[in-house]
Structure 1
Amino acid sequence: MTTALIYLVVMALVAAVVFLLASVLFGRGEELPPLPPGASPTRLPESGIEAEDLRAVRFQQVVRGYKMSEVDWVLDRVGAELDALRARVAELESDRDAAEPEAR
C-alpha cells in the first residue's frame, strides 16, 4: 500500500515539474501580452466620433452585465463630443446672426 502511495506522490511531483517547465518554456500561447488589470479593449477615436464608431463599440462582459467603467467611459466621451458639437453650432449660429444685420 505504501509503495503505491509513493509512486502516486512521485508521479504527481514529476507531472508538476513537467507542467511548470513547459509553462516557463512555451508561455501561455498568447500572441499579445494580456491587458493590465482594469484596462479595457473598448476603443473610440480621439475626436470626431461617428455613428459607425459607436456601432462598433463592444464592452467587456462581467457577471452582472457589462463592465460599468467601460460604459461610463464611452458615455463620457460621447457626451463631451456632443457638447463640443453643440457649442460649435451655437457659435456658428451666433456668428451668422451677427453678420445678417450688417448685410442689410
Structure 2
Amino acid sequence: MVMFLFLLLALVVVVGAVTLAVVGGGESGPLPAAPPEQYSEPLPPDRPVGRSDVEALRFPLALRGYRMVEVDEALGRLGAELSERDARIEELESALAGARAHRFDAPGAPDAPGAPGATAGPVPARTEEPGPDAPPEDHA
C-alpha cells in the first residue's frame, strides 16, 4: 500500500510540473504560440508558373488536412495560366495554318503544287563540275 501511495504522489508531482511549464509558472512565461504554417515556396507572382514550381509546391498541414483557401488559390492560379497557354497555343496554330494555306494558295509560289518550278519529287543532288583551277583527276 505504501508503494502505491508513493507512485501516486510521484505521478501528481510530474503532472503538476508539466502543467506549470506549459501554463507559465516560471520566469520564461507560457510557451509561445506557434506561428501558422505558410507555403515553404509559394507560386511566383512575377512570372508564369513552371513545372519545377508545381513540383516544389507543398501545402502546410492544418487541423483537417490542408488549408482549403491556399489550395483553392493555387489551383485557381494554375487553371488560369493553363487556360491562357491553351488559348495562345490555339492562336499560334491557327496563324500557322493560315500562313501555310496562304503560301500554297499564292499564284506563282514556287512551293505551290503545279506552279512553274515546283518539284514533283525529291530534288536530285547537284554535281559540281571542276573549275579551271581544279587539279586534273588521275584515272589510273
Same fold (TM over 0.5): yes
**Cα distance in 2, alignment partners of residues 75 and 52 from structure 1:** 15
Residue 91 (str. 1) matches residue 91 (str. 2)? yes
Unpaired runs of 5+ in structure 1?
1-14, 29-33
Q: Deviations over 1:38-87 (max 9, x none)?
A: x9435112332112111111111111101111110110111011001101
**Cα distance in 2, alignment partners of residues 92 and 44 from structure 1:** 27
Unpaired runs of 5+ in structure 2?
1-23, 105-140
**Number of residue pairs matched?**
77
Write out the 4+ residue segments of structure 1 that deviate beyond 3 Å after TM superposition: 15-20
Q: Deviations over 1:13-33 (max 9, x none)?
A: xx869446xx9xxxx7xxxxx
AA partner of residue 64 (structure 2):
R
**Cα distance in 1, alignment partners of residues 64 and 28 from structure 2:** 34
Aligned partners of 1:48 and 1:81 also within 8 Å: yes
Q: What is the RMSD of the two structures over their aligned residues, measured on CA atoms?
A: 2.7
In terms of fraction of residues, the more helix-rich structure is 1
Distance 1:57 1:94, change over 3 A: same
Aligned partners of 1:40 and 1:70 also within 8 Å: no
Aligned partners of 1:40 and 1:60 also within 8 Å: yes
Structure 2 SS opposite 1:59: coil
Q: Which residue of 1 aligns with 2:55?
A: 55
Deviation at 1:103? Answer: 0.4
**Cα distance in 1, alignment partners of residues 94 and 38 from structure 2:** 40
Distance 1:44 1:100, change over 3 A: same
**Cα distance in 2, alignment partners of residues 60 and 40 from structure 1:** 6
Instruction: Tell me the TM-score normalised to structure 1 length.
Output: 0.60
Greater RCO, CA 8 A, separation 6+? 1
**Cα distance in 2, alignment partners of residues 82 and 91 from structure 1:** 14
